[in-house]
Amino acid sequence: MNTCNHTNESDFILMGLTDSKEIQLVLSVLFLLIYMVTVLGNIGMILIIHLDVQLHTPMYFFLTHLSFLDLSYSTVITPKTLEDLLTSIKNISFMGCFSQLYFFVLFGGAECFLLSSMAYDRYVAICNPLHYPVVMSTRRCHALLICSYMMGAIDSSVNMLCLSRLNLCNSHVINHFFCDTPAILALSSSDTYVFEMIIIIVSGSTLMVSLLIISMSYASILSAILKISSISGKRKAFSTCASHFLAVTIFYSTMIFTYLKPKKSYSLGKDQVASVFYTIVIPMLNPLIYSLRNKEVKSAVCKVIKMRENPRQLGK
């Protein structure tokens, strides 16, 4: 990256969400509560699935890692955001900024493909139930998980490679509350068209390929459900994928709005609202969506609560 002879050349300044002290206080309390729910909800989901042997299935294997990814990329962003809101320290080091961006893109990209793996799992469970144990074997589940992390790492590495070639001499003030790709691209004083196109192609491919897999899976699922004659059968089939479909809709709508557009379309206000939603709010929503709409998870929670009274209760 081109550097400049400035005293604080290794630091960036995050402008944050607002300059109003009153709004900052309100947001800090709100974000702290959301983050606490995110941590407790996702760790709780991981522990419940680990403790209840009835949940040791491919669907909950993926759900465990979804909770891990939600917790991880929320932790990459939220603590620093809370620090900025509660203190006057807006600086973030060069390494801190790009480390934050690297891991955020890594976890976000991995989540895209993990959600597509979960959609494929639901497709096999509904459209090919007799062969489900064979198709969704432990080996295949681990292979899908590894591919998800690999695709996230590729996406993140390409972002880092492109951004490292930018000329950021004119300004180190990031008009955002965290180090995000569009906000850093907006700092460059040089022509970013080539790098912008590379990032859009790679990140867009991550989003669109995973979304295509999800769309094809749900098209097949819908076709199979419509062929079911009984209403109770249709209701049961819908319930098995309703939580995942809701999580996918929320996640992808905000991601596509933020990233699949050129730098010239970058809007501080609109992009920050979308960014707050998918970096801070969605990681909290996912465990709530899957727990509140899933009878098996509710049952497992009840078992964990009763475990103190009867330790043998869990796993029965």
CA dihedral of 154, 158, 160, 164, whole degrees rounded to 10: 160
Cα 170 to its chain centre, rounded Å, is: 32
Q: Tokens 């790009």 sit at which residue?
A: 98
Q: Homologous superfamily of 11-313 in CATH?
A: Rhodopsin 7-helix transmembrane proteins (1.20.1070.10)
Helical spans, DSSP H, in the chain: 21-51, 58-86, 94-127, 132-135, 138-163, 181-185, 193-226, 231-259, 268-276, 282-292, 295-306
Its pTM stands at: 0.86
Tens of pLDDT along the chain (316 residues) come to 554 544 345 688 888 888 888 899 999 999 999 999 999 999 999 998 888 888 889 999 999 999 999 999 899 999 999 999 888 778 898 889 999 999 999 999 999 999 999 999 999 998 898 999 999 999 999 999 999 999 999 999 999 999 888 887 767 888 889 998 888 888 887 778 888 888 888 888 888 899 899 999 999 988 888 887 777 777 777 777 777 788 888 888 877 776 665 555 555 556 677 788 888 988 998 888 877 666 777 677 677 667 655 655 555 5
C-alpha–C-alpha distance, residues 90 and 49, integer Å: 39
Pairing of strands 173-174, 11-14: parallel
Helix (H, G, I), strand (E, B) or coil at 93: strand
Distance CA 136, CA 45 (A): 22
Q: 144 and 120 in contact (C-beta within 8 Å)?
A: yes
